[in-house]
Amino acid sequence: MKILITGGAGYIGSHTLIELSNAGYKFVVFDNLSNSSKKSIKRVEKIIKTPIFFEEGDVRDKKALNKVFKKYKKWFAECNKNGKIKAGFPFNHGRYVWLGGKEI
């Protein structure tokens, strides 16, 4: 299973990537680069010695998110409001996922 890390090119996000990688997790980074750049991703790749799956986009853009979920659908699981993992995609249960501070 992979984890979608929104804002993963930022300060907290990039440190999170290193810790997740050290703990053996796989992830996809989704960031609109409004306050960061791909340089940060490149630096983390060097540190963790692994290529990072990066997708540029805004978490408020449902279409862009759906594209990412579709692209990586084999790797994501879905979580319901109670935190229970709910298998199955495509991403048509958006109401269960909190992103960008909004229920979408």
- Determine the residue with CB nearest ligand NAD: 10
**For residues 75 and 91, what is the distance between their CA atoms, to the nearest angstrom?**
12
Asked if 78 touches ligand NAD (CB under 6 A), the answer is: no
**For residues 66 and 11, what is the distance between their CA atoms, to the nearest angstrom?**
25
Place of tokens 């579709």: 70
Site for ligand NAD in 33-72 (CB under 6 A): 33-36, 58-60
Asked if 12 touches ligand NAD (CB under 6 A), the answer is: yes
Q: How far is the CB of 78 from ligand NAD (least distance, A)?
A: 20
**For residues 85 and 79, what is the distance between their CA atoms, to the nearest angstrom?**
4
Residue 39 or 84 with smaller CB distance to ligand NAD: 39
